[in-house]
Amino acid sequence: MILVTGGAGFIGANFVLEWLARKGEAVINLDKLTYAGNLASLESVKSDPRHVFVQGDIGDRDLMERLLAEHQPRAVVNFAAESHVDRSIHGPADFIETNVVGTFKLLEAVRAYWGGLTGEDRANFRFLHVSTDEVYGSLGKNDPAFSETTPYAPNSPYSASKAASDHLVRAYHHTYGLPVLTTNCSNNYGPCQFPEKLIPLVIHNAISGKPLPIYGDGSNIRDWLYVTDHCLAIMAVLEKGRVGETYNVGGNNEKTNLEVVKTLCAILDELHPDSPVVPHEKLIVFVKDRPGHDARYAIDSSKIRNELGWQPQESFETGIRKTVAWYLANQAWVDNVISGEYRNWVQTNYATRT
């Protein structure tokens, strides 16, 4: 079996579902269930004996050592993190605690476990660390896309904390020989993403007749990848990736934020014509920019394409349509996550922008 951390979050939950459907191999899913973790995303595998959920912290070394000793996983896939840039600006401490200290403690527990393995179990063990393209910083309009050799230049507390975790993972390979793999992926979108991130926030606000807040002038560029394609990339790296290597993962879908929001509005005009305000574009408002807002991310994913034969299955046009349809069909999921904590966050982040 494999051990997944952060498997109740957006990408982790998609990964667990995809893994069980495709591989059939059991998963121990360790998640702290912060505001971003949601067991409703895992409802369909609730009584699947191949899925064992444990609530806990990657920074709890005793717990991690116990879980590793008890279940003897052949791999650990680390999704657990604080993941939202705006939250890292308002409160960076949790990002340092989980992304840096938590990853360090997890690495220590894994190193002890791996050190006790022998023969094939030791040779085949993998620790896969899921990271982001944001560690590379920000690109100018005509700069080449980020490759695996682009120097790290993180600009937000979030990306700095992920960069630190990537460095620790790298060091555990070079110093201790721990068989690690790292993936650095671009912006994901798809089902079960918490509605604090751009795409689900815009869908939720648009169908509720609320303003669609665009930071700055909306010209910032992100490279969007459908979440299932990211999960398939992680599976390919886990299976065939070269130990100690990093792999960039991206969709070749560079879009300005304004383009993304307008696309969402157009799809919603078609699929949800009964919203309080239509056309949905009328709800767009330009608000105060994010401090230190990275201008552009773009990923050169030729290494994973050429070495491992991975390529995205979903275009932006098909993926974004599926995503809107999923949110429209799963209002109960959204209602479930829009708790008091979510309302507090919306107040904290947006009240001072307009």
Binding site for ligand NAD (CB under 6 A): 5-6, 8-12, 31-34, 36-37, 57-59, 79-83, 98, 102, 130-132, 162, 185, 187-188, 194
The count of chain residues that interact with ligand TYD, using the rule CB under 6 A, is 12
Q: Kindly report the backbone phi and psi dihedral angles of residue 19, in degrees, each rounded to the nearest multiple of 5, phi listed first.
A: -65, -50
* Residue 194 partner contact from ligand TYD, ligand NAD, none using kind-dependent CB cut-offs of 5 to 8 Å: ligand NAD
C-alpha to C-alpha distances, 280 to 269, 322, 326, nearest whole angstrom: 6, 18, 18
The span from the CA of 127 to the CA of 246, in Å, is 12
In whole angstroms, how close is the CB of 28 to ligand NAD at the nearest point? 12
In whole angstroms, how close is the CB of 46 to ligand NAD at the nearest point? 16
Task: Mark whether 134 is an active-site residue.
Answer: yes
List Cβ<8 Å contacts ≥24 apart for 133-136.
133/184, 133/185, 133/186, 133/223, 133/248, 133/250, 133/297, 133/299, 134/85, 134/158, 134/159, 134/162, 134/294, 134/297, 135/159, 135/162, 135/163, 135/166, 135/184, 136/184, 136/297
* Residue 204 partner contact from ligand TYD, ligand NAD, none using kind-dependent CB cut-offs of 5 to 8 Å: none
In whole angstroms, how close is the CB of 221 to ligand NAD at the nearest point? 14
* Residue 127 partner contact from ligand TYD, ligand NAD, none using kind-dependent CB cut-offs of 5 to 8 Å: none
Q: Report the residue number, 245 or 269, with the smaller CB distance to ligand NAD.
A: 245
Q: Report the residue number, 102 or 241, with the smaller CB distance to ligand NAD.
A: 102
Q: Annotated catalytic residue: which of 31, 57, 133, 254?
A: 133
Residue 204 as a binder of ligand TYD (CB under 6 A): the answer is no
Q: Annotated catalytic residue: which of 113, 136, 158, 297?
A: 158
The span from the CA of 129 to the CA of 77, in Å, is 6
Residue 257 as a binder of ligand TYD (CB under 6 A): the answer is yes
Residue 155 as a binder of ligand TYD (CB under 6 A): the answer is no
* Residue 155 partner contact from ligand TYD, ligand NAD, none using kind-dependent CB cut-offs of 5 to 8 Å: none
* Residue 248 partner contact from ligand NAD, ligand TYD, none using kind-dependent CB cut-offs of 5 to 8 Å: none
Q: Report the residue number, 105 or 197, with the smaller CB distance to ligand TYD.
A: 197
Q: Annotated catalytic residue: which of 134, 223, 229, 254?
A: 134
Q: Give catalytic residue positions.
A: 133-134, 158
